[in-house]
Structure 1
């Protein structure tokens, strides 16, 4: 092909057809430019396809994490609300509104005492963010939702630290002298108590009746656990919306 064009140029020059040579040369340059542009476009298209393949891998990984989050957050919401209810029940015992149901008293003490934090399933997003590759996700909406989730996780973590402090400083320390810890932890699944256990529980119950500072401890535990549950609900809402965006993007 190169020899063919070279021969045409030589013939035009040898015949002193300079004007035709110039037109031919311009045409040849245009053909070369068009060839380069086509090659660049093909290369850009290939690169876009390769980047889309990488993006789809990340989107599918994020979707898997989001599906795990739905289950994890629903469990955490139920757990924190049950802890808040348990704290309310113990408050009723302190107020003297409940007295006879020792099994309920023991179980609710145990439920209120459990310390558990939430561990998000967001490894895929965290890896993208830490590696500076979040821009691989083309959708601005998906990126913004993921960043909103990250901010909510930080809020949840800060609230959990606050609650952890109150648990250790108030709930655990305040109850160290008024509750039989061994009985509470080892007998929480019992449907009935032997005489000795019943006596111990009744003694525990008598010790905490009317204790205003202990009552305030359970009020705080109830309020804070419900607040954590509400944060988890907000996170779940963002997770559900992000799931829809990611699923739609993957189907494109």
Structure 2
């Protein structure tokens, strides 16, 4: 009887151990699956985020290039007014080009989804901070400076432009065969002596210079962030 009881207890203990081991294995498998899903979700999110950031990088560099060209035209326009007594097609083009504007659209869908999520999908604290600073500081400042440009500087220049020039539809490459009759000074002699026009032009030029400097800094940080995220994606995949 004692032998039977001993065997029964050994059997029961063995069964319990098998059940416990089975539960532990199941928990481990479930934990592994959850970890795999979490990692897969993080990789997907970082990949989508880098698609947005690359789009922003492309747009910001295009804005930077256009602003450089606009300021170059502004410099040529002012030099022409200081040195020449002729109204040329180049002058008309420079006047228009100096007025060119651009708006940063900011691809931020993935970042907004991250903001609205209660989970820390991005596990790397340093990368998460860099992403937040890029959107909340650098991109926000680009929008803020654009707002200043459109509200505080461009209107003053455009007001003087309307006072001193005959204007009509824009000149573009597809109009290069059309005889230009746009952006023509009403009176070149008066314009050359017009300090209000020159001052607003210089103010616009200088503020655009500052925007170019700040924009260049954001471009460098954006390049670094994109590479950092690429490296993190490769690390998570390995």
TM-score (norm 1): 0.78
C-alpha displacement of 1:41: 1.6
1:201 to 163, 180, 184: 184
Tell whether the 8 Å contact from 1:88 to 1:218 is kept in structure 2 after alignment: no
How far did residue 186 of structure 1 move? 4.9
2:150 is matched with 164
Q: Which has the larger radius of gyration?
A: 1
| Unaligned segments of structure 2, at least 5 residues | none
* CA–CA distance in structure 2, aligned partners of residues 246 and 155 of structure 1: 22
State the Cα distance separating 1:148 from its structure 2 match: 1.8
Question: 2-side partners of 1:171 and 1:134: how far apart?
Answer: 48
Residue 73 of structure 2: aligned partner: 86
Name the counterpart of 2:197: 214
Q: How far is the alpha carbon of 1:56 from its aligned partner? A: 2.0
Contact 1:180/1:204 (CA < 8 Å) preserved in 2? Answer: no
Please give the root-mean-square deviation of Cα atoms over the aligned residues, in Å: 3.1
Distance change in 2, residues 1:159/1:141 (3 Å): same
Indicate the residue corresponding to 1:39 in structure 2: 26
Do structure 1's residue 56 and structure 2's residue 39 form an aligned pair? Answer: no
1:235 alignment partner in structure 2: 218
Deviation at 1:35, TM superposition (A): 3.3
Cα contact 1:146–1:242 (8 A) shared by 2: yes
TM-score, length-scaled by structure 2: 0.82
Higher relative contact order (CA 8 A, sep 6+): 1
Tell me which of 83, 103, 111 is aligned to 1:125: 111
Rounded Cα–Cα distance in structure 2 between residues aligned with 1:76 and 1:42: 51
Q: Are 2:95 and 1:109 equivalent residues in the alignment?
A: yes
The 8 Å contact of residues 142 and 215 in structure 2, kept in 1 or not, is answered as yes
C-alpha offsets along residues 35-88 of structure 1, whole Å, 9 cap, x if unaligned? 333222211110111122222221221222233233222211111111222222
- Offset at 1:30? 5.2
Unmatched tracts of structure 1, length 5 or more = 1-10
Indicate yes or no: 2:128 matched with 1:143. yes
Separation in 2 of the partners of 1:134 and 1:234? 31
Indicate how the Cα distance of structure 1 residues 191 and 227 shifts in structure 2: closer, same or farther if over 3 A, else same: farther
Structure-2 separation of matches of 1:13 and 1:227 = 93
What is residue 86 of structure 2 aligned with on the other side?
100
1:244 matches 2:227? yes
Deviation, 1:202, is 5.2
Look up the match of 1:185: 170
CA distance in 2, matches of 1:204, 1:135: 64
Number of equivalenced pairs: 233
Q: CA deviation at 1:190?
A: 4.2
